[in-house]
């Protein structure tokens, strides 16, 4: 389970996290690589879910321009966090559609192997694009949770999370493939995806997407699991270089070492400025 930073509400809800496959009892052929692949994907999906929950839980508690306590910088940072989260989700699914799905289909000899997950992407893609457009174009004094961001998130969040759960079950059905061949495919597609893009795109990833990945990860979840497999220096580079001075990361539910921390804009007790029942 998650080691929560306190008894306060944290981002393991409202959308539940994906159980870690490698921790599940009763899986067949436990030494096969399909379990490791599904576990890695589950870690990535839980980063997305924690980020979504962080937005849903904190955004209603950021006062807008018509409310007491309004601070333009708070809203600006929230919108920036939402942009980064959306870009992270886009990147994750771009990697799947460009590299993982085609290579899996080729490896299996079944061109329709990943058609289900691919079609599921279509169900929430439009909503993600609307959210990115809203977070990018909205000025701080125009921001609204109800009557703005909430309705956009509500339009696609269930489609997104249903997909994130279902895709793990798909990967857990691959125990009949050759284990070593599957391992080579998995490592190879991720290596190609990591090397793609020009220098500017890679720098943008380090300053925009990677802070969201680390800040929405939880290395304590269900007893701990080391993910992502990146150089040990990466969190130091993010904290002291790429993320420095960006207030958006106040909305992250974990620190740069993937330890859970209290939410900065946690839901308040009922009766405090009347905000608790607006989430």
For residue range 12-55, list pLDDT tens digits in order: 999 999 999 988 888 888 899 999 999 999 999 999 999 999 99
| Cβ burial, residue 79 (10 Å; 0-12/13-18/19+) | buried
In this prediction, residue 271 has a pLDDT band, given cuts at 50, 70 and 90, of very low
Rounded Cα gap, residues 84 and 52, in angstroms = 11
Q: Which residues contact 172 (CB under 8 A, 6 or more apart)?
A: 21, 27, 34, 35, 38
pLDDT at 1 over 70: no
For residue range 90-137, list pLDDT tens digits in order: 999 999 999 999 999 999 999 999 999 999 999 999 999 999 999 999
For residue range 213-255, list pLDDT tens digits in order: 999 999 999 987 777 877 888 889 999 898 999 999 999 999 9
**Are the beta carbons of 85 and 55 closer than 8 angstroms?**
yes
């Amino acid at each position: 389970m998650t080691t929560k930073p306190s008894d306060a509400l944290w981002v393991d809800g409202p959308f539940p996290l994906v159980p870690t496959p490698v921790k599940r009892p009763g899986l067949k052929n436990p030494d096969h690589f399909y379990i490791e692949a599904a576990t890695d994907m589950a870690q990535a999906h839980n980063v997305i879910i924690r980020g979504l929950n962080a937005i849903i839980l904190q955004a209603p508690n950021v006062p807008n321009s018509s409310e007491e306590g309004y601070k333009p910088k708070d809203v600006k940072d929230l919108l920036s966090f939402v942009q980064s989260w959306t870009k992270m989700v886009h990147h994750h699914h771009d990697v799947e559609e460009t590299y993982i799905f085609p290579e899996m289909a080729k490896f299996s000899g079944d061109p329709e192997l990943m058609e289900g997950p691919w079609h599921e992407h279509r169900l929430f893609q439009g909503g993600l694009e609307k959210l990115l457009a809203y977070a990018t174009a909205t000025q701080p004094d125009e921001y609204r949770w109800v009557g703005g961001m909430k309705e956009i998130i509500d339009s696609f969040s269930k489609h997104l999370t249903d997909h994130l759960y279902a895709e793990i079950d798909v990967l857990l059905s691959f125990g009949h493939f050759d284990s070593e061949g599957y391992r080579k495919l998995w490592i190879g597609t991720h290596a190609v995806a990591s090397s793609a893009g020009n220098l500017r795109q890679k720098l943008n990833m380090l300053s925009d997407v990677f802070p969201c990945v680390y800040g929405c990860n939880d290395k304590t979840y269900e007893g701990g699991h080391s993910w992502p497999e990146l150089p040990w220096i990466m969190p130091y580079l993010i904290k002291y270089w790429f993320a420095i001075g960006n207030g958006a990361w106040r909305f992250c539910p974990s620190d740069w070492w993937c330890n859970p921390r209290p939410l900065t804009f946690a839901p308040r007790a009922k009766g405090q400025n009347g905000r608790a029942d607006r989430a």
